[in-house]
């Protein structure tokens, strides 16, 4: 599950602030400094968190840093042995500007592997929540365990990761299938060889437990939260573990916890197929599409282009560290553009360049997807830790015959993206599991006893299909769904006043969106 950060990476997010305060409120805000939270010396750990008293008693020490105030939160490596080794999680707070502060709003941009610290930094410029919401809340981001600045998990060098992303993502011969199996095992073995004890303890369940300790140390009785993409799964798992600690929670671009790994692969394959057809229709309608004059012709042209790259990569990229645009790199470039329709024109131009033998523009899009710097080097460890988390969350098979069969099943419903998504999670079949115990089977999350939880789904979302949001809202005991009829990944702060107004009213006034709100 990938979450591209348009607010950070492309600057496409528009801020539509609500005028939630009166002029008198604004004058009062200017006249007095923001209030500061009163944090209790300690909090009794909730059920299921035995032995964690010292973590719920710690004090966060804040210091000025780039974009806000920084602190570290100490948590156990293994919650089954809370007296054992610990790690420090990086936390960043952008303080509220109003003296009528409502509390802290914890944010997660997705991934798994997205940096909450980097995401929260954009709160002051309106890239995370509306200006009205930020006035009343400290916006807090943290790098989950294994991510970014929080004991990051890395198994491959930058050069090895380049090769991993360049590999054939759609094996269609016996030799290519065998090669894919060997590459997947090599990745898992590289992680196993690090001997990192944290490798077996970066599941979403572990991160949710960390988030409850963070909530406590921020001084909030309940967690106010914004999760996007994978961040919705983190929020849902939190709600299932700590339902009475759920405050004003928004899950945007939702994942259905009941889904198996194959069902997730299928959902994303269909979602990306749907989004790519929408781009193809717009490209064809422009009258100057480099791949054809109607939707089906454009889709066929794109499929042919990717297939040709399998055996004949483009050798002009402008990046000496990636001298050839392979099918793998090109596929990531196309996928990146599906996250936001504002990038569709860039994809069309990249296809035109590729027709001229220039793979540079498509590689630029792929770099955005991979959080990679042009010319080489990665800005974070997202493209490695994403496997570490996903492989602990969902059971997978290493059987190559089963993977071939899955690819056929997915391709029947998503001709362009089915094989790509089916093979993308193969590494998890050989992943080192703690104690040799396989991940738990997927199950519904009801969060019985929680307050209202707002779920948002976008009808043509490629990465988290709308049906997943429907499923999550339905299984939550107190879920309510906002449906956004639109393109791209996630909805809040993507220039839709209907969605933005409903979310802001929930955060600022506690007003639950009306049932089955459609925007």
* Positions marked active-site: 229, 461, 489
* Helix or strand run (H / E) with residue 249: strand 246-252
3-state secondary structure 182-231: HHHHHHHHHHHHCCCHHHHCCCHHHHHHHHHHHHHHCCCCCEEEEEECHH
Closest C-alpha among 497, 498, 507 to residue 107: 507
Q: Which strand ranges, in their side-by-side order, compose the sheet holding 86-94?
A: 63-65, 68-76, 86-94, 137-142, 103-108, 223-228, 246-252, 453-460, 479-487, 517-518
Q: What residue has token string 């590999």?
A: 167
Cα–Cα distance for residue pair 386/384, rounded to 1 Å = 5
CA distance 70 to 90: 7
Q: Which residues of 90-114 are buried (b: 16+ CB within 10 A; e: fewer)?
A: bbbbbbbbbbebbbbbbbbbbbbbb
d(CA 383, CA 378): 9
């Amino acid at each position: 599950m990938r979450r591209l950060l348009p607010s950070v990476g492309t600057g496409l997010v528009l801020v539509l602030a609500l005028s939630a305060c009166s002029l008198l409120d604004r004058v009062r805000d200017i006249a007095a400094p923001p209030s500061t939270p009163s944090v209790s010396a300690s909090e009794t750990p909730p059920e299921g968190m035995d032995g964690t008293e010292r973590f719920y008693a710690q004090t966060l020490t804040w210091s000025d840093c780039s974009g806000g105030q920084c602190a570290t939160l100490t948590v156990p490596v293994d919650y089954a042995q809370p007296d054992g080794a610990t790690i420090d999680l990086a936390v960043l707070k952008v303080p509220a500007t109003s003296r009528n502060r409502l509390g802290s709003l914890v944010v997660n941009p997705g991934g798994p592997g997205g940096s909450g610290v980097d995401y929260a930094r954009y709160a002051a410029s309106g890239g995370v929540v509306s200006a009205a919401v930020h006035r009343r809340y400290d916006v807090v981001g943290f790098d989950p365990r294994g991510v970014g600045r929080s004991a990051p998990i890395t198994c491959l060098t930058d050069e090895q990761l380049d090769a991993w992303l360049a590999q054939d993502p759609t094996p269609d011969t016996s030799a290519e299938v065998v090669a894919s199996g060997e590459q997947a095992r090599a990745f898992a073995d590289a992680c196993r060889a690090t001997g990192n004890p944290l490798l077996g303890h970066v599941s979403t369940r572990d991160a949710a437990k960390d988030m409850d300790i963070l909530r406590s140390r921020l001084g909030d009785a309940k967690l106010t939260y914004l999760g996007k993409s994978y961040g919705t799964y983190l929020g849902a798992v939190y709600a299932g573990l700590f339902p009475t600690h759920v405050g004003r929670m928004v899950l945007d671009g939702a994942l259905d916890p009941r889904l198996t790994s194959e069902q997730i692969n299928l959902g994303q394959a269909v979602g990306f197929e749907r989004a790519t057809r929408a781009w193809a229709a717009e490209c064809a309608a422009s009258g100057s599409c480099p791949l054809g004059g109607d939707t089906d012709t454009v889709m066929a042209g794109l499929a042919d282009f990717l297939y040709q790259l399998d055996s004949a990569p483009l050798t002009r990229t402008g990046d000496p560290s990636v001298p050839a645009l392979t099918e793998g790199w090109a596929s990531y470039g196309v996928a990146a553009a599906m996250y936001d329709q504002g990038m569709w024109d860039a994809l069309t131009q990249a296809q035109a360049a590729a027709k001229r033998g220039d793979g540079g523009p498509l590689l630029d899009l792929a770099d955005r997807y991979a959080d990679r710097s042009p010319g080489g080097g990665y800005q974070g460890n997202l493209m490695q830790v994403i496997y570490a988390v996903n492989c602990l969350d969902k059971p997978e098979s290493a059987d190559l015959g089963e993977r071939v069969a899955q690819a056929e099943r997915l391709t029947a419903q998503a001709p362009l993206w089915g094989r790509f998504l089916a093979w993308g999670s193969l590494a998890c079949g050989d992943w080192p599991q703690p104690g040799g115990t396989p991940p738990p089977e997927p199950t519904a999350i009801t969060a019985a006893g929680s307050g209202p939880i707002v779920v948002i789904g976008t009808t043509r979302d490629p990465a988290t299909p709308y049906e997943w949001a429907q499923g999550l809202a339905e299984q939550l005991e107190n879920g309510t769904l906002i449906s956004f009829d639109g393109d791209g990944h996630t909805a809040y702060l993507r220039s839709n006043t209907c969605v933005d107004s409903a979310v802001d009213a929930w955060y600022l006034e506690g007003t639950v969106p009306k049932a089955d709100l459609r925007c």
